[in-house]
A and B are shown apart, each in its own frame.
Chain A
Amino acid sequence: MRDKSILLVEDNPDDEVLTRRAFEKNNVGNDLVVVRDGAEALDYLFGTGDYAGRDLSRQPQVVLLDLKLPKIDGLEVLRRLRADERTRMLPVVILTSSNEERDLVNGYSLGANSYVRKPVDFSDFTEAARQLGLYWLLLNEPPPQAVHR
């Protein structure tokens, strides 16, 4: 059975609160899993470290990945996900403050499925969260289950 969850990789607690609030307002908040840094995100997705033994068949529907992260940064996380057979096709949306060109280029070339810049205006942010939830949880057909194994 597919788990319709969202993995949010976000080190800023404020952003976490605001993101959760935005998703809740759009009724997708229940499925939001939050990890604090890149290392934790990899542990979660590969069932290692604190997440050893996690049922890897229950992978998130989409990963919302910040780029500036402690320990292992977002682009490195993305590179490792794409390098692993199990997570190679996992939908990853980069959700970050920056719209620097090189971030966009690096993100897409490492295999990001989408790139969304967090708007400062909370109304805009809420709208973005609504559309993301709508798209990735409802509209988008995920890759076949087999890949999660």
Chain B
Amino acid sequence: MDPGNLRRRAGAFAVLLGLGGVIGWQLGVTVLRSLLAGRATMHPATGIALILLGVSLVLVRSGGRSRISGRLAAAAAIGGGLIGLLKLTQDLTFWDPGLEDLLNSMRLTAAPAGQLGRMATPTAVGLLLAGVGLLMVGRSRSRNIVAHLIALAVGMIALFALVGHLYGASDDAALSGLRPMAINTALGLMALAVGLVAAAPEYGLAALLASSTTAGTMARQLLPIVLLTPVMLGWLRLGGEQAGWYGARGGTAIMVSAIVLVLAAFAWRSLDVLSRSEAERQRIETALRESEGRYRLLFDVNPVPAWVFDLETLRFLTVNAAAVRKYGYTPAEFHHLTIRDIRPQEDLPRLMKALSRIGPEGSGGGVWRHRTRDGTLLDVEVISHTLTFMGRPSQLVLAHDVTEQRRAEAALAASEERFRALAVSAKDAIVSADQEGCITYFNPGAEHIFGHDASEVTGSPLTLLMPERFREAHRSGFARYLASREARVVGHTLELVGLRRDGSEFPVELSLAAWQREDQVAFTAILRDVSARKTAEDALKRYATQLEVANAELDAFAYSVSHDLRAPLRSIDGFSAALLEDYAERLGDAGRDHLNRVRKASQRMAGLIDDLLALSRVTRATLNRERVDLSALALQISAELRQRDPGRHGEFLISADLHSEGDTRLLRIALENLLGNAWKYTARTPRAHIEFGTAQHNGEQAYFVRDNGAGFDMRYADKLFGAFQRLHSAGEFEGSGIGLATVQRIIHRHGGRVWAEGTVGQGATFYFTL
């Protein structure tokens, strides 16, 4: 029952009993005065006090709502209490305050003052206490507890009176000195006591009785038993004793035993309930602790870094082990940080904006950049949820490191972008196909070469791109590759025939790559239209054949020259010599001179023919590239030149260790010509100085042969290397004009260049590269 209700009903009950007493006196209804005929009657002052105290009880706790009812309650309590106080004073001092007269004068009683009897002393004490108790109620904890104690005392007084009536105690000699309390008075006091307890339900016994705990339940069950059992057993004992079944001692023994039995049974039952309740509580506590530990463990050992931060201060409240590992801060360091400290400066505005948007039920997320202790930036995917942690509004955060994933994604995207850029810009056709041989990719180069649109051929079979006669071979080859993975085409470059959209065929060069992707094989082919190259190759082959024919003709010509052109010269010289020998006198000086000129001319012509043949041989000879020690060659040649002219003085300065790749025989001829020339054109120089070395020329290494001889005029430099071109007369220096042409041809055949610098009278330098 609601304590307020109980209090109000108890108050109303007390008022009713009080009214009954007063009305009983007024109207002379004895039953209303004493409830049971012949018993002590309620004093009319007691009735009035009960009415006042009952009203006070009804009003006492509504003081919060209205100050007036509070004051009325206090006034009624004081009034009721005062009546008790006056009666008690009269008892103790025999001073009569004249209450009976006052009541009579107020016409509240119809009986004379002598009949009213006196108010019982316990009644006066009970009324006084109840008044004080009612004044105490509802102020503070300690006053409420005092009110409860007072209620207990009032209750005990009432209980004693009731039990006394029940057992007919008024007959008892020991109690005869006390005036008996009327039954209705005792019930009224009991009601006041109960109401008083209910008036402060938050404290003490009331709180226990009202509580929904096990103790509350037990208290509610035990209270009536504890109260009624001894009362009932005492009454039964008295009844048995009066019936003469047993004496006073036997009755007492029976009663005490019965009380012990009943109370022990109920105590045992209570203890049992209590122990079960305790066990249940412990079980729940353990389960709770375990569950809490489990969840804590889930947080602590979670491989994903996690933490809880205070939504107001942004400080870390707790972090798990993974966060400590990932971010490099110890838990203690974390507690001094805020979530701002693990972010790059430039991300803070975004962070603050995101925090401002977290609502009371905030679940959040997104990808953020976090900074570890050593400054490394991580890309993390964050999931968060708002909660209350250690009494603070907080946010639980799980931060999953996706740096590697992001990097891999970026690398993949870059790789794809590279491939796309390459494929889109390539002039070659790039075509990919799947395991079924259907086109999955067709680049712009392929569109251009084949004349198909990518959109129309995607999904079509590859055979679309080849002439009918090759399709069967392609299909069987494709199937064979899928079955055996034996690469006959994959990884090689092949020349095939392609088919354009307009039906025309063209030669293609194809290289094919295959790769495995999960359980699928895919292919990418790079195809090049080699029509133009084919044409060029054919032309080149034609030229090569023509060149071979021309070379063969030249060879035959040179052969014939070497045999046939010299024979007449031998005749001319030989017979001129015969004439000079056999007919010397008859010829005379002039005749002999003429014949000698004929001989010289024919010999010179033989020399020219030999030089020409040498030049032609340089052209025709095959080039055998090998490592050539140019320094050694130059040394040999210079030694030969000295040997040829033992009387000449001249200095050769040859750099050591000049090596090159080339044809030794041809390079020897070239050096022979260059050094021979230098030797020849320094014949009239007093201190001839000939040098062979290297110099840097426009970033490449050039060899040079330098002399300080006759030199030449740079105006004629372009004529130096022409066949039969001479800058000196035969009278000055001998020569055919073939030597430098031969040198140039040899250098050109090696892929090099040759040029010269010179000054008349100061010497010349011939450069060549290889």
Report yes or no: A98 in contact with B570, Cβ–Cβ below 8 A: no
B521 an interface residue at 8 Å Cβ cutoff?
A: no
Report yes or no: A14 in contact with B574, Cβ–Cβ below 8 A: yes
Residue of B nearest to A96 (CB): B563
Distance between B373 CB and nearest chain A CB, rounded to angstroms: 84
Known: A120-B606, A121-B603. A97 touches B563 (CB 8 A): yes
Interface string of A1-40 (1 = CB under 8 A from B): 0000000000010110110010000000000000000000
Report yes or no: A12 in contact with B574, Cβ–Cβ below 8 A: no
A141 an interface residue at 8 Å Cβ cutoff?
A: no
Report yes or no: A122 in contact with B563, Cβ–Cβ below 8 A: no
Known: A100-B559, A100-B562. A122 touches B573 (CB 8 A): yes
Q: Which residues of A contact B613 (CB under 8 A)?
A: 100
Residue of A nearest to B562 (CB): A98
Enumerate B560-583 residues with CB–CB distance to A below 8 Å.
Answer: 562-564, 566-567, 569-571, 573-578
Enumerate A99-146 residues with CB–CB distance to B below 8 Å.
Answer: 99-101, 118-123, 125
Report yes or no: B563 in contact with A67, Cβ–Cβ below 8 A: yes
Q: How large is the interface on A (under 10, 10 to 19, 20 to 34, 35 or more residues)?
A: 20 to 34
Considering the chains assembled together, what is the distance between the CA atoms of A125 and B569 in angstroms?
12
Report yes or no: B577 in contact with A122, Cβ–Cβ below 8 A: yes
Considering the chains assembled together, what is the distance between the CA atoms of A121 and B599 in angstroms?
8
Distance between B686 CB and nearest chain A CB, rounded to angstroms: 33
Residue of A nearest to B610 (CB): A99
Report yes or no: A123 in contact with B577, Cβ–Cβ below 8 A: yes
Residue of B nearest to A25 (CB): B581
B480 an interface residue at 8 Å Cβ cutoff?
A: no
Distance between A19 CB and nearest chain B CB, rounded to angstroms: 9
Report yes or no: A118 in contact with B563, Cβ–Cβ below 8 A: no
Distance between A95 CB and nearest chain B CB, rounded to angstroms: 12
Contact of B566 among A17, A120, A122 (CB under 8 A): A120
B617 an interface residue at 8 Å Cβ cutoff?
A: yes
Report yes or no: A15 in contact with B571, Cβ–Cβ below 8 A: yes
The total of chain B residues at the interface (CB under 8 A) is 24
Report yes or no: B573 in contact with A121, Cβ–Cβ below 8 A: yes
Q: Which residues of B contact A101 (CB under 8 A)?
A: 617
Considering the chains assembled together, what is the distance between the CA atoms of A14 and B578 in angstroms?
12
Contact of A18 among B570, B599, B603 (CB under 8 A): B570
Known: A98-B559, A120-B603. A125 touches B574 (CB 8 A): yes
Report yes or no: A18 in contact with B562, Cβ–Cβ below 8 A: no
Contact of A14 among B558, B563, B567 (CB under 8 A): B567
Distance between A84 CB and nearest chain B CB, rounded to angstroms: 26
Enumerate A49-94 residues with CB–CB distance to B below 8 Å.
Answer: 67-68
Residue of A nearest to B582 (CB): A21
Considering the chains assembled together, what is the distance between the CA atoms of A100 and B617 in angstroms?
9
Distance between A6 CB and nearest chain B CB, rounded to angstroms: 18
Distance between A136 CB and nearest chain B CB, rounded to angstroms: 21
Distance between A96 CB and nearest chain B CB, rounded to angstroms: 7
Q: Which residues of B contact A18 (CB under 8 A)?
A: 570-571, 574-575, 578
Report yes or no: A14 in contact with B617, Cβ–Cβ below 8 A: no
Q: Which residues of B contact A96 (CB under 8 A)?
A: 563
Report yes or no: B562 in contact with A97, Cβ–Cβ below 8 A: yes
Report yes or no: B564 in contact with A68, Cβ–Cβ below 8 A: yes
Distance between B476 CB and nearest chain A CB, rounded to angstroms: 54
Contact of B563 among A21, A68, A125 (CB under 8 A): A68
Considering the chains assembled together, what is the distance between the CA atoms of A100 and B563 in angstroms?
9
Report yes or no: A120 in contact with B573, Cβ–Cβ below 8 A: yes
Q: Which residues of B contact A67 (CB under 8 A)?
A: 563
Considering the chains assembled together, what is the distance between the CA atoms of A101 and B621 in angstroms?
10
Considering the chains assembled together, what is the distance between the CA atoms of A18 and B573 in angstroms?
10
Contact of A97 among B567, B574, B576, B605 (CB under 8 A): B567
Report yes or no: B563 in contact with A120, Cβ–Cβ below 8 A: no
Sampled A-B contacts (18; CB under 8 Å)? A12-B567, A15-B571, A18-B574, A18-B575, A67-B563, A97-B563, A97-B567, A97-B570, A98-B562, A100-B558, A100-B562, A101-B617, A120-B566, A120-B570, A120-B606, A121-B603, A122-B574, A125-B570
Q: A96-B563, A98-B562 are in contact. List 8 more A-B contacts (CB 8 A).
A: A15-B571, A18-B575, A21-B574, A97-B570, A100-B613, A120-B573, A122-B574, A123-B577
Seen from chain A, the residues whose Cβ lies within 8 Å of a Cβ on chain B are: 12, 14-15, 17-18, 21, 67-68, 96-101, 118-123, 125
